[in-house]
Amino acid sequence: MSERVQIQATINGEPVQFLAEPRQSLLEALRDELGMTGAKEGCGNGNCGACNVILDGRLVDSCIVLAAEVEGRLLTTIEGIAQGNHLHPLQQAFLEEAALQCGVCTPGFIVAAKALLDRTPHPTEDQVRHWLAGNLCRCTGYDKIVRAVLRASESTEANA
Amino acid sequence: MVLETEKKQKKYKVIGTRPIRPDGLDKVTGRARFGADIDLPGMLHGAILRSPHAHAHIVRIDTSKAAALPGVKAVVTNADFPHVPAEELSLGEGAVNLVHLRQNVLAEDKVLYHGHAVAAVAATSAHIATEALRLIDVTYELLEPVLDVRDAMKQGSPILHADLRTRDMGKDGDIPSNIASHLHFELGDADHAFGEADVVIEREFTTRMVHQGYIEPHNATVSWDEDDHLTIWMSTQGAFNVRDQMARLLRLPVHNVRVVPMEIGGGFGGKISVYLPPVGAILSHKTGRPVKLVMNRTEVLEATGPTSGSYIKLKMGATKDGRLIAARGELAYEAGAFPGSPVGAGCMTMLGPYDIANATIDGYDVVVNKPRVAAYRAPGAPISAFACESVVDELAEQLGIDPLQFRLQNASKEGTRQLRGTTFPPIGNVAMIKAALASDHYNAPLEGPNRGRGVANGFWFNAGMQSSLNASVNGDGTVSLIEGNTDIGGTRASIAMQLAETLGIPMEAVRPTVVDTDSVGYNAVTGGSRITFASGWAAYECGMDIRRLMCARAAAIWDLGEDDVEYVDGVIRARKDAAKKFTFAELAGRINSTGAPIIGNASVSPQTVGGAFALHIADVEVDPETGKVQVLRYTAFQDPGTAIHPAYVEGQMQGGASQGIGWALNEEYYYNADGTLANASFLDYRMPTTLDLPMIDAVMVETPNPGHPYGVRGVGEVPIVPPLATIANAVYRATGVRFRDLPISPRRVLKETQGLE
Amino acid sequence: MQAIAYQSAKSIDEAVSVLRQWGERARVLSGGTDLIAQLREGRRHDVEVVLDIKSIPEARELRYSPGQGLYLGAAVPCYRIYEDAAIARAYPALADSAALIGGIQIQSRAAIGGNLCNASPAADAIPSLIALGATCEIAGPNGRRTLPVEQFCIGPGRSALEQNEFLVALRLPSPAAQSGSCFLRFIPRNEMDIAVANAAVALTLNPAKDRITAARVAIGAVAPTPLLVPEAAAALIGAPLTEATLERAAEAARAAARPITDMRGSIAQRRHLARVLTRRAIESAIQRAKES
């Protein structure tokens, strides 16, 4: 076993310290060391988006970030999208638009879509499709996902 | 969009509405627990060594160096399994020979495909387990691989299984062969009918292996206790199937195996057969600790799924007034390394959309050095529909008849005899084609160069099989529903809605929970488009059981005979005394003060599945310089019977269409000449992204199934049947070239249109 | 994967000293989108140390002025290029590349410098860097040196970096007035693929905007390394903006291509695409030059 290093980061607004091996990805650290299993591994090489988190305001595939790289940085994961008991408009729109079937890609899509709406509060369908092209869904054909993101973007809350 | 043939909204209160699914909240917040999210005290992590070769004898496996790596707790091979008899085991969608299943899980004396599991390690971390794999020394003696179904059928081809004989009409052949079975179907007299045909077209088609492509990789965590009881946490479409496979493979009593179905990240048929649980079991047995195994994407693509590659020759004949009268087909499907391709279903569904009186169809199940195939959404049907719908399209063109009109005038309907001998019950094929003919999409002009519109039809049987569930009435009028079917795409909702409808209570008053195999009666797979049909039927029966019990309780309270009490719209009332009535919730509040708790039970095995049809329309544009096909507009029509939750029916239609579009345009298993798979990643196995698909319009043309209390037909599978031919027919109209070899990738388009090899 | 150590260098000197200590067993990490995937997939068993250069000021700096041109630190992620309006306007081909590398998630991390060092024949940034005349700034035990970017790749996955050297930055000259550039690639899907072929063109028009006065053309995924195609540029320079001129240049690109057949494309398809993409990139670059 290689030596574990101590890492400090801010995750969903909370300062967090944890230990991880240098070979562990951020995704592995979140899931295996911190018990935050909302981000999923679909491909392990940055081609499906199921592991998406927001790192210092930028959307990243956490499977190809080393845990050691997030020292001192700000992270938002799917666990931090809702405000307490209050769902984010994207989460509500995904439910109302039936934008999930199996649900395994859903956390990645919601995190990715949040990163979009944070930058572009009122995207066009084309902008939504371009932004989400790094997230694979095999169940829905994307139709209802794109509609859910557009619907959430009409909510004023999404832009808060 | 729902086109109703009955005024459903008046008839039902819950059915046909679009409530938020009960498990939705957990899935949008990341709280839902999928198979890989399990973590147990003392848990070890497993990893599997896989063959780099497509075909080889295993001469020797030396695990000593791996076993010596600090952190490694066990190394196992096929020799660690008990011996099993060569018996067939039903998997719901398909069947498997136990010996083959065992040999697929860990190779015995031969590896039969690139990625075939050879040995496994359990260690204190997943990284250490993976490191240990590199220390396992395997000596192989290489054999020539056979990769194409036609090559594998030839005399003199390399033989995968020395003991495999061709099963033909119930008899086994006497020489080793890669052809596992030959199926033969006959209806009428095709030879004679071809003589009467004015137009006859015969074409050959080929398709490649494609994968289900679920986003969640296979996983299993197994704990083998000291008393030989096993618990398995995993994503599976069939917890009970896993239980039965494990009991048989490990020679344990069924009640020693408990399977806990976690949330599942897609399956499409690919998560029924076991891959990891037997390996996890023997690793856990050796170490005395729970062992977790999770595949990476490469393993998923190399060693699980896919569905068959194929060769089809199909001849069809029609009269000059546009009547289809004869078909002759030869279908050869790749089974992968072990017998069991879906060629039978391919044969039997191929002509489903048509009333065609004379047909002879031969099917061949053929082993090749590729992964053993698994069910994939309407297994076998998309491939044969691709051939049939391409030939039908060409016939219509030669006869100068509109392709949809031609399909309408030959459409199968109630009473049409099918190739498998039975006749259709009431089906929605004709109504659906008429809806497509009248649709805005079909009538909209398609302008611009290099554009084309295609249509195709598709049929799938659907399945019934067994479902069990129970429901407890709580004191506040809510109901706790216990079910055993993995929820892949909203079936908690569609089952709960049918129970709520039966009880006349709001859907929100029913809370469904999916439980493990010790906690509910037997349930067959989540597959065959059967859950909303069969488990929904069980929910109806369970609701009727609760209604009887509630009426009996009210009768006891009122001191009336049970026949004097009726259950109407969620109200229990005396037939002859209007003053005596309880709402459901009122009576629920008195259950525990007036007698025994009320629990409804149901177990069903319905056969009257109906049958499902889908018809798709696609508009495409082809870039003549690059050969790239872009889908501009897509509409899917389907008869869902009664759409219980229309949004999730639309979702199935859109999802099936998009998988089919991927299959048509870019997805394929790309093999190097040595039999190694070249594109085992999501980068190179090209599934559609958001930018590759338009919005997919879903039009439900409801013809309720008279064989179901609420008119349900299965909806999940049939939407993947038409897209292959729909796209091919559209590309033909855009380019003037008929593509009979999938996928219609840019490379192939350039080859066919510009002769660029 | 094997155990590794992670080191984050704060200066060029520190990075060089880590490289000297570990030699071939160390790999430089910038965006990590290639390296970490390779490590996880077991394709880099030899690596024992990952050296993160993102904290080196010279590697993360992005600076542009019309007089000085562009300084692009080797670890600058793609999004910083296309989100900077002045840079995207001055170097449109580079912005095209940056916006095409992977999806949004990849562009948050992947660096143009990393794309270059990975030295893939199909890299999406390298033809643009070649067309735009970029120069590599390299640091190593013997100090600093520079190298024209077209000399950087020497084979698939192999670069001109010597033992213990690393790429610090790229410098791109300021474009002349009436210049335009464009990068195009062909992939079977519309996102998330490796190029079957790609092409980049940078050119300058005369003040009347009816003749090309300077041009550089580069193509990728059609040879062991991305190629500068002087014959294509020669066909454009001084010639009138006619169909025939464009076709001659595109044909020169086709002729320069010497591709292989693999799962992503065939020889004939790639040669053909080299022509088509070069032609389309020239047209777009001319249009951009006219609008500049």
Q: Check CB contact under 8 Å for B655 and A139.
A: yes
Asked if residue C234 and residue C214 are part of one domain, the reply reads yes
- Do C80 and C152 lie in one domain? The reply is yes
CATH of the domain at B575: 3.30.365.10
CB contact under 8 A, C268 and B131: no
What is the identity of the amino acid at B14?
V
Q: Which of B28, B487, B488, B635 to mutate to test the interface with A (most CBs of A within 10 A)?
A: B28
Cα-Cα end-to-end distance for chain B: 44
B641 and B749 belong to one structural domain: yes
Q: How far apart are CA B148 and CA B159, in angstroms?
A: 13
> Which distant-in-sequence residues (6+ apart) come within 8 Å of C42 by Cβ?
B130, B134, C1
Question: Considering the domain boundaries, does residue B647 fall inside one?
Answer: yes
Q: How far is C141 from chain A (nearest CA, A)?
A: 26
Report the relative pairing of strands B110-111 and B257-261 from DSSP bridges: unpaired
Give a three-class secondary structure readout of C232-289. Answer: HHHHHECCECCHHHHHHHHHHHHHHCCCCCECCECHHHHHHHHHHHHHHHHHHHHHHH
Tokens 């690596």 sit on residue: C47
pLDDT of residue C192: 86
B420 assigned to some structural domain: yes
Q: How far is the CA of B122 from the CAs of B283, B287, B391, B681, C47, in angstroms?
A: 6, 8, 53, 25, 24
Tokens of B426: 């009431």
B635, β-bridge pairs: B617, B697
Asked if C190 lies within 8 A of B689 by C-beta distance, the reply is yes
Under the banding of pLDDT at 50, 70 and 90, the label for residue B170 is confident
Domain identity same for B483 and B429: no
Are B614 and B734 members of one domain?
A: yes
Query: Of the candidates C194, C267, C273, which has its C-beta nearest B683's C-beta?
Result: C194
pLDDT, tens digit (0-9, with 9 covering 90-100), for B467-519? 999 999 999 999 999 999 999 999 999 999 999 999 999 999 999 999 999 99
How far is Cα B737 from Cα B724, in angstroms, rounded to an integer?
15
Q: Check whether B7 has a pLDDT greater than 50.
A: no
Q: What is the CA radius of gyration of chain B?
A: 27
Query: Does residue B457 sit in the same domain as residue B579?
Result: no
Are B474 and B453 part of one and the same domain?
no
What count of other Cβ atoms lies within 10 Å of the Cβ of residue B320?
A: 11
Cross-chain Cβ contact A23/C3 below 8 Å:
yes
- Which residues does B387 contact at the CB level (< 8 Å), separation at least 6? B203, B205, B312, B314, B329, B331, B350, B740
**Model's pTM, two decimal places?**
0.97
List, as one string, the DSSP characters of B269-315: TSSSS-SSHHHHHHHHHHHSS-EEEE--HHHHHHHS--B--EEEEEE
Residue type, B90: S
Are B654 and A143 a contacting pair at CB < 8 A? yes
Segment holding B88, helix H or strand E: strand B88-90
Strand B467-473, strand B479-483: pairing: antiparallel
Is A77 within 8 Å of A27 (Cβ atoms)?
no
What CATH number has the domain bearing residue C9? Answer: 3.30.43.10
A residues 97-126 closer than 8 Å to C (CB) = 112, 115
Tell me, yes or no, whether B244 lies in a domain.
no
C98 shares a domain with C37: no
pLDDT band at B363 (very low <50, low <70, confident <90, very high): very high
Q: CB distance B687–A132 less than 8 Å?
A: no
Mean pLDDT to the nearest integer, B652-663: 98
Q: Tell me which residue in C1, C193, C269 faces B686 most closely, judged by beta carbons.
A: C193
**Inter-chain contact C192–A134, Cβ cutoff 8 Å?**
yes
Reported ipTM: 0.98
The pLDDT assigned to B479 comes to: 98
Closest-CA residue to B535 (of B434, B617, B465): B465
Per-residue model confidence as pLDDT tens digits over B197-211: 999 999 999 999 999
Is pLDDT at B6 greater than 50 in this prediction?
A: no
**Same domain (yes/no): C166, C219:** no
Cα–Cα distance for residue pair B554/B468, rounded to 1 Å: 27
A-chain residues within 8 Å CB-CB of C102? 46, 134
Q: Do C36 and A133 touch (CB under 8 A)?
A: no
SS3 of B675-699: the string is CCECCCCCCCCCCCCHHHCCCEEEE
Specify which residues C6 forms β-bridges with: C50
CB contact set of C121 (below 8 Å; sequence gap of 6+): C153, C156, C220, C221, C222, C223, C224, C225, C226
Last residue of a domain, one of C116, C141, C172: C172
**b/e map B657-670, b = 16+ CB within 10 Å:** bbbbbbbbbbbbbb
Closest chain A residue to the Cα of C5, Cα to Cα = A22
Pair C13, C83 in one domain: no
In a domain, B455, yes or no: yes
With residues binned 3-state (H G I as helix, E B as strand, rest as coil), the percentages for chain B, rounded to 5, are: 30, 25, 40
Contact flag A133-B651 (C-beta cutoff 8 Å): no
Residues of B in contact with C273 (CB under 8 A): 626
Q: Give the length of chain C.
A: 292
pLDDT band at residue A156 under the 50/70/90 scheme: low
Under 8 Å CB-to-CB from B539, ≥6 apart: which residues?
Answer: B469, B471, B481, B495, B496, B498, B499, B502, B602
Q: Which ranges of chain C would DSSP assign to H, the alpha helix?
A: 12-22, 35-40, 57-60, 78-82, 85-90, 92-100, 104-107, 112-118, 126-131, 230-236, 243-256, 267-291
First to last CA, chain C: 49
Q: Which residues pair with B4 in a beta bridge?
A: B702
pLDDT at A157: 59
Chain A CA closest to residue B299: A43
Do residues C105 and C33 both lie within one domain?
A: no
Q: Which of A1, A82, A139 sits opposite B29 (nearest CB)?
A: A82
Same domain, B632 and B740: yes
Q: Which residues pair with B222 in a beta bridge?
A: B232, B291
> Tens digits of per-residue pLDDT, B675-704?
999 999 999 999 999 999 999 999 999 999
CA dist A93 and B489 (Å) reads 17
**Same structural domain for residues B453 and B533?**
no
Q: Is B453 helix (H, G, I), strand (E, B) or coil?
A: strand
Rounded mean pLDDT, B613-629? 98
Distance of CA B577 to the CA centre of its chain: 52
pLDDT under 70 in chain C at which residues? Answer: none
Question: Going by C-beta distance under 8 Å and a sequence separation of 6 or more, which residues neighbour residue B673?
Answer: none
* CATH hierarchy code of domain A89-159: 1.10.150.120
B126 lies in a domain? no
CA atoms within 13 A on the CB side of B381: 31
Q: What are the φ/ψ torsions at residue C259 (nearest 5 degrees)?
A: -80, 175
The domain defined by A5-80 folds into Ubiquitin-like (UB roll) (3.10.20)
Whichever domain contains C227, its CATH number is 3.30.390.50
Interval B205-252: pLDDT, tens? 999 999 999 999 999 999 999 999 999 999 999 999 999 999 999 999
Question: CB of C156 within 8 A of CB of C191?
Answer: no
Helix (H, G, I), strand (E, B) or coil at B107: coil
Q: Which domain holds residue C100?
A: 58-172
Residue B366 in any domain: the answer is no
**In a shared domain, residues B488 and B597:** yes
Task: Look at residue B211 and tell me if it is in a domain.
Answer: no
Scan residues 127-146 of C and list those with Cβ closer than 8 Å to A.
Answer: none
> Letter for the amino acid at C280?
R
Local confidence band at B3 (pLDDT 50, 70, 90 cut-offs) = low
Looking at the structure, tell me whether residues C15 and C29 fall in a common domain.
yes
Angstrom distance (rounded) from CA B715 to CA B704: 12
Under the banding of pLDDT at 50, 70 and 90, the label for residue B1 is low
C102 close to A (CB below 8 A): yes
Q: What is the pLDDT of residue B94?
A: 74
Residues C231-239: contacts with CB under 8 Å, at least 24 apart: C231/C255, C231/C256, C232/C256, C232/C278, C236/C203, C236/C212, C236/C282, C237/C212, C237/C213, C238/C211, C238/C212, C238/C213, C239/C211, C239/C212
Q: What are phi and psi of B749, to 5 degrees?
A: -65, -45
Provide, as residue numbers in chain B, all residues whose Cβ is less than 8 Å from the Cβ of A41.
Answer: 36, 217, 294, 296
pLDDT digits (tens, 9 = 90+) for C85-109: 999 999 999 999 999 999 999 999 9
- Listed residue (B405, B545, B484, B493) closest to B23, CA to CA: B493
Residue in B31, B490, B657 nearest the CB of A141: B657
Domain carrying residue B502 = 2-32+464-604
Q: Are residue B421 and residue B511 in the same domain, yes or no?
A: no
Q: What is the pLDDT of residue B96?
A: 85
3-class SS of residue B714:
coil
Are the C-beta atoms of C117 and C93 separated by less than 8 Å? no
How close, in Å, is residue B310 to chain A by CA atoms? 23
Whole-number percent of chain A with pLDDT over 90: 93
pLDDT beyond 60 at B87: yes
Instruction: From C130, C154, C172, give the residue that closes a domain.
Output: C172
Torsion angle (degrees, nearest 10) of CA B281, B283, B289, B294: -80
The Cα-based distances of B426 to A128, B430, B528, B608, B641 in angstroms read 42, 10, 19, 11, 10
Which of B604, B622, B642 finishes a domain?
Answer: B604
Does B515 share its domain with B570? yes
Q: How many domains does chain B have?
A: 2
Is residue A141 scored above 70 in pLDDT? yes
The whole-angstrom distance between residue B625's C-alpha and the CA centroid of its chain comes to: 37
Total structural domains within chain C:
3
Do residues B622 and B722 share a domain? yes
Pair B581, B574: CB distance under 8 Å: yes
For residue B368, being part of any structural domain is answered with no
Among A96, A101, A140, the residue with its CB nearest the CB of B20 is A96
A131/C104 Cβ within 8 A:
yes
CA of residue B8 relative to chain centroid, distance:
28
Last residue of a domain, one of B586, B604, B622: B604
- Shared domain check, C117 and C30: no
Distance CA A97, CA B646 (A): 11
Is the CB of C121 inside 8 Å of chain A's CB atoms? Answer: no
Distance CA B353, CA C121 (A): 49
Q: What is the 3-state secondary structure (H, E, C) of B41-55?
A: CCCEEEEEEECCCCC
**CA within 13 Å, CB half, B616:** 36
Same-domain status, C31 and C81: no
Question: Which of C4, C41, C104 faces A2 most closely, judged by CB atoms?
Answer: C4
One domain for residues B550 and B635: no
C-beta atoms of A65 and C105 within 8 A: no
In this structure, the number of other CB atoms found within 10 A of the CB of residue B156 comes to 6
- Choosing from B588, B604, B620, the residue where a domain stops is B604
